[in-house]
Amino acid sequence: MNRKISHLGIAVKDLAASEQLFRKLLGAEDVHHEEVDDQGVRIASFKVGESIIELTEATRPDSAIAKFIDKRGEGIHHIAIEVDDVASELTRLKSEGIQLIDETPKQGAHEMMIAFLHPKSTNGVLVELCQRG
């Protein structure tokens, strides 16, 4: 199973302001913008080596990002691990006793299929599995 860190998701209140900040931090020109309606988020992402830093702003109050910021403030929201096959990883992890948020993969940003694991099972870290295509 091929794995790498696909991206780090950072929850932000003001995407435009955070984008300016991260442009400075990373000295980056290239920014990818995307809106994922399903999850009620708008993102700006920067390539950092083989990984991506993904700034995520809520587009509606019931979005998971809005709830996260209400509870914990801005900051690192999730770590995404790229795998070859999200569905089979979900089956494997479930059999290992890991609690899942998503029982089946769903459409995410960057044309990836994604699924989240429950932070209760993973040391308080929200983990996303993702797969290309």
What residue ranges bind Zn ion (CB under 5 A)?
9, 80, 128
Nearest to Zn ion of 27, 133 (CB atom): 133
- Whichever of 95 and 111 has its CB closer to Zn ion, that residue is 111
What minimum distance in Å lies between the beta carbon of 95 and Zn ion?
Answer: 24
Order of all β-strands in the sheet with 112-117: 32-36, 41-48, 51-58, 4-11, 75-82, 127-132, 112-117, 106-107
Which residue, chain included where needed, has tokens 């040391």? 123
Least distance between Zn ion and beta carbon 7 (Å):
6
CB of 19 to Zn ion, least distance (A): 17
Locate tokens 């790229």: which residue? 82
Outline where 4-54 has alpha helix (H).
15-26
State which residue, 93 or 116, has the beta carbon closest to Zn ion: 116
